[in-house]
């Protein structure tokens, strides 16, 4: 079953990409008591993710925070080292927290997986954005395959 607005975020572990390497963090702790703009990409360093998705959230970070977002986070079925390198490559600094879902546990638990086998990527997370308030989904924008419209930072801002 796919997660929907009003549902609680599933309890899983992430690896948070930090300057000192991977740091384990539970979804329960990460989303507790704050409003998080979360976006998911099929993979770091992939074309749309690198050219549009991450840059859009970096460009709109101040606008999102002005609308009550406490933290912006990105998740992908990649390891923390890859997400950390992608953050650094894009000069994202602390503007976006990278949450590695290396085994796809979060993607599976939310029901938001996709099959990237024909591209040699295996099972990945779908492209989406989600506004999470104290662990509860407030907004969910899942892209149709091959599209980039509703998961953008701009679309999220329009909905707030």
In degrees, to the nearest 5, what angle opens at C-alpha 45 toward C-alphas 41 and 47?
80
Q: How far is CA 160 from CA 14, 48, 118, 135, in A?
A: 27, 24, 36, 17
Q: Which of 49, 69, 80, 131 is catalytic?
A: 49
49 given a catalytic annotation = yes
> Which of 5, 6, 4, 10 lies closest to 109, judged by CA?
10
Report the C-alpha gap between 108 and 2 in whole angstroms: 9
Determine contact, residues 149/56, Cβ cutoff 8 Å.
no
Report the C-alpha gap between 34 and 75 in whole angstroms: 17
Which residues are catalytic, by number? Answer: 49
């Amino acid at each position: 079953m796919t997660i929907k607005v009003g549902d609680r975020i599933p309890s899983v572990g992430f690896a948070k990409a930090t300057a000192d390497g991977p740091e384990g963090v539970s979804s329960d702790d990460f989303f507790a008591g704050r409003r998080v703009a979360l976006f998911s990409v099929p993979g770091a360093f992939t074309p749309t993710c690198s050219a549009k998705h991450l840059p859009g959230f970096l460009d709109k970070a101040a606008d999102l925070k002005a609308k009550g977002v406490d933290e912006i986070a990105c998740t992908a079925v990649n390891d923390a080292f890859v997400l950390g390198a992608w953050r650094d490559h894009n000069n994202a600094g602390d503007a976006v927290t990278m949450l590695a879902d290396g085994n796809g546990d979060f993607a599976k638990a939310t029901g938001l997986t996709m099959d990237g086998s024909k591209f040699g990527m295996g099972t990945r997370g779908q492209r989406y954005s989600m506004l999470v308030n104290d662990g509860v989904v407030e907004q969910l924008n899942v892209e149709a395959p091959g599209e980039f419209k509703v998961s953008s930072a701009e679309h999220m801002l329009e909905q707030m």
